Chains A and B, each alone.
Chain A
């Protein structure tokens, strides 16, 4: 790249150009530039929630779509998500202060016996990018671990991930326990992982199987919208 291109000064761009530039910077995983962009928009009087939805969520939607379409892969998405996290760190306390609308809350974790957390982390990051609150339980979660988190966090969504044929049946163990305790309908249960498919998700009693992080976000939004409609109707 030439020096000329390195000379873009974010603070000299108008709002529209700045947001467009932030989309590009998110796509390229430039964390410092995203932090700078967020601060400039806040200084210009943007509400934190507007910065989140229009600049960050907007940019991550493009990243998510290209990931879904096989144009971007895990390394690029991780870099983008890392850049977004930089912006989120600035916005998070402000969002809480200003009482911004709550999109939804998700508890997510990889099941017992499984160390793999790449896909799960991607889902967590993309969900955060879409405005969800995420509680990440990490890897190797037993039924007890999941229930402790559900009790503590009272999430809308439970997300489970597994990458091995030896660990994917454990998702059913967790869902069966939810059913046994009469709590299955309290949560939207989303599952994912490379060896899974839609039929498997149905067979174990999940609400949906999500092929990738972008689909997880879309699915989560859909279920949250349904929930809101039901509450409104009820």
Chain B
């Protein structure tokens, strides 16, 4: 498959923005998923519910939806003793998606979701590059076999893991998108800044169609990250949470209103994102408001940080991590330390 004849690239060429989907986990809870259970098992056990899950965003106007395969790698499924079912569960996730997309009556992109392994990669952690590539490859093959249009790597925090995912996907030849979760003082948990991700995506041998940010803290932080990507020839993805989680009567719900997410969607587009969606807590109701806002409100030019906080609330941290105070800078400043001999 060449890089231009997939459904996502074609759709991007014909439109100024695309609406992605919202939450998976919080939506599955509403359908009766029990805390601690693996959502991916439902692809086999409750395909009707997964179909309903996918139909939510499609009916609300999403152009892209992600499959129920976020935790569908061997490392994650092992927890549920389902590590031998990676191919099957991912294939099912994509097959159900294909069915829903093909019945939509318009082009809807089935994006095969691939989340992190949950392990820390070498040298700090124990997961080798080769093992990570193999895990992502295995999952990618299942999603490809099920008919996904593109693969969608999300909520990554380590550059090593993004690289391994890209390599695993390259083995399938599938087009892909990749997003990281910037949830720690403007960076990812592993310290990656927005410009650092943009630079990494440029360097990859099998580069993504689009890259960006998902999840993280709130909608404000996510847009600051989008601005931080700077000028890039690639498409930029913004998939922020609908506010922050609240616990109510045994359920989690996010406090961001559909109106707030509509403002967020327009600001994301104005900030340069061309693929705009939600993450945790974003329901079809939110998506409908987002679609309507994107269709009816005119572009306003890049928003300032002040405009973002005025519309969506304050940032979780003062800095976005690009002010030179990170790990590298501190070491250089301190000087005089000896280098590890190992």
Chain A residues packing against B (C-beta within 8 Å):
1, 5-6, 8, 24-25, 27-30, 32-33, 66, 69-76, 78-79, 111-119, 139-140, 164-170, 172-173, 194-197, 199-200, 203-204, 212
Contacts and interface: CB of A to CB of B under 8 A. Distances in A.
Contacts of B246: 199-200, 203
A112 B339 contact: no
CB-based closest 9 A-B pairs: A70-B185, A113-B36, A73-B191, A112-B36, A203-B247, A115-B118, A169-B35, A165-B25, A170-B35
A166 B189 contact: no
Contacts of A139: 79
Contacts of B281: 165
A169 B339 contact: no
B327 interface: yes
B123 to A, nearest CB: 9
Given A164-B25, A172-B247, A195-B245, A114 B317 contact: no
Contact of A5 (B251, B280, B325, B337): B337
A200 B185 CA distance: 20
A166 B327 contact: no
A30 to B, nearest CB: 5
A70 B247 contact: no
A78 B330 contact: no
A5 B338 contact: yes
A1 B319 contact: no
Contacts of B37: 113, 166
A213 B280 CA distance: 24
A73 B337 contact: no
Contacts of B321: 70
29 contacts: A5-B337, A5-B338, A30-B338, A32-B342, A66-B330, A70-B186, A73-B189, A73-B190, A74-B190, A74-B191, A76-B327, A113-B35, A113-B36, A113-B80, A114-B79, A116-B118, A117-B118, A118-B189, A119-B189, A139-B79, A165-B29, A165-B280, A166-B29, A166-B39, A169-B35, A170-B36, A173-B35, A194-B183, A199-B247
Contacts of A165: 23, 25-26, 29, 245, 252, 280-281
B247 A25 contact: no
Contacts of A200: 245-247
A140 B79 contact: yes
A204 B247 contact: yes
A115 B340 contact: no
A73 B187 contact: yes
B248 interface: yes
Nearest to A201: B247
B332 to A, nearest CB: 11
B33 interface: yes
B290 to A, nearest CB: 20
B9 interface: no
B341 interface: yes
Nearest to A197: B244
B337 A71 contact: no
A2 to B, nearest CB: 10
A161 B244 CA distance: 18
A79 B331 CA distance: 14
Nearest to B28: A166
Given A73-B190, A73-B327, A113-B80, 12 more contacts: A5-B338, A5-B339, A70-B185, A70-B186, A73-B184, A74-B120, A75-B327, A166-B28, A169-B29, A194-B183, A195-B280, A200-B246
Nearest to B191: A73
A51 to B, nearest CB: 20
B144 interface: no
Contacts of B188: 73
Contact of A169 (B39, B75, B250): B250
B336 interface: yes
Contacts of A168: 35, 245, 252
Given A71-B326, A73-B184, A78-B124, A111 B36 contact: yes
A5 B188 CA distance: 32
B334 interface: yes
Nearest to B279: A165
Interface string B303-332: 000000000000001010100011100110
A77 to B, nearest CB: 10
B301 interface: no
Contacts of A204: 247
Residue from A24, A29, A113 whose CB has the most chain B CB atoms within 10 Å? A113
B105 interface: no
A212 B184 CA distance: 10
A105 B153 CA distance: 39
B327 to A, nearest CB: 5
Contacts of A172: 247, 250
Contacts of A173: 35
A66 B246 CA distance: 29
Nearest to B27: A165
Contact of A71 (B80, B327, B338): B327
Interface string B149-173: 0000000011000000000000000
